[in-house]
Amino acid sequence: MKLSHIADLKACSLSDILTAHLQIAASVTSDLKVLPHFERYLRQGYYPFRLETNSEESYLERVTNIVSTIIENDIPAVEPIEYETLLKAKRLLMYLAQTVPFTTNMSNLCTNISTTRNQLIRLLSLLDRAALLRLLYASGKNLKALGKPEKILFNNPNLMYALSRSVDIGTIRETFFTSMLSQGHQLQYPAQGDLLVDDTYLFEIGGKGKRFSQIRNLPDSYVAADDIEIGFGNKIPLWLFGLLY
């Protein structure tokens, strides 16, 4: 918001948000209608070159070009890889753009992009390292060493809007939330809920009607809810996590 000359907001720690979200949200929304700006950020706000583009279409086209550059030039520059494998990487991204958050079924993914399990794991790892995908591994298990993620998300929501004209809002919310929490926090895929943070905080992510049904009575559990300016109790506005950094 500072870059866009809308507001100059201070960054908050996760602890600040969990313990004082009512006061922080009230302070911000007293002078600012934050939800329209947040919705715009989800579509075209992650990359700073947004300030150089004059439309959402031109911004998303530039994001698409960046994806192509990463796959066609950047990845081959640091990793020996065949052209056919690069084509599969593109196919994988297009497929995931239609289906994430993708709870991993390796066999189905292999079938859909015509590849082997080992090659798929390699592709997922490369796309994660290239900041195109974000891989979540199960809590309490060392599955990362085995290479199989439990959930696959895009690195940020703008990538989804660039690669697909039909995106799921629930997926967009999860992608945004995970992107924000990834800075300085350990993220895992929990047995209950959507995201486990620092092996302590359990989150459900959804719209304003999202309830605690899946994480009821669990300690340190919260709902990150979209379409609300101010939360209550352990229900926190989703946009507020954008102040983490």
Q: What is the DSSP string of 151-180?
A: EEEESSHHHHHHH-SS--HHHHHHHHHHHH
Whether the pTM exceeds 0.85: the reply is yes
Residue 94 has pLDDT above 50, yes or no: yes
Pair 59, 42: CB distance under 8 Å: no
Q: CA-to-CA distance for 116 and 122, rounded, in angstroms?
A: 10
Q: CA-to-CA distance for 92 and 230, rounded, in angstroms?
A: 38
pLDDT at residue 153 in the model: 94
In which band, very low, low, confident or very high, does the pLDDT at 24 lie, cut at 50, 70 and 90? very high
Average pLDDT over residues 54-61: 92
Question: What is the per-residue pLDDT across 101-132, written as a single tens digit (0 to 9) for each?
Answer: 667 788 888 988 999 999 999 999 999 999 99
In which band, very low, low, confident or very high, does the pLDDT at 165 lie, cut at 50, 70 and 90? confident
Average pLDDT over residues 58-71: 95
pLDDT above 70 covers what percent of the chain? 93
pLDDT at residue 211 in the model: 84
pLDDT at residue 139 in the model: 77
Average pLDDT over residues 78-90: 90
Q: CA-to-CA distance for 79 and 27, rounded, in angstroms?
A: 48
pLDDT at residue 89 in the model: 93
In which band, very low, low, confident or very high, does the pLDDT at 147 lie, cut at 50, 70 and 90? low
Average pLDDT over residues 179-188: 95
For residue 151, which of 111, 190, 95 has the smallest C-alpha distance?
190
Residue 172 has pLDDT above 60, yes or no: yes
**Maximum distance among all alpha carbons in the chain?**
55
Q: What is the average pLDDT value for the chain, to the nearest integer?
A: 90
Cα–chain center distance at 187: 12
pLDDT at residue 146 in the model: 55
pLDDT at residue 4 in the model: 52
In which band, very low, low, confident or very high, does the pLDDT at 10 lie, cut at 50, 70 and 90? confident
In which band, very low, low, confident or very high, does the pLDDT at 3 lie, cut at 50, 70 and 90? very low
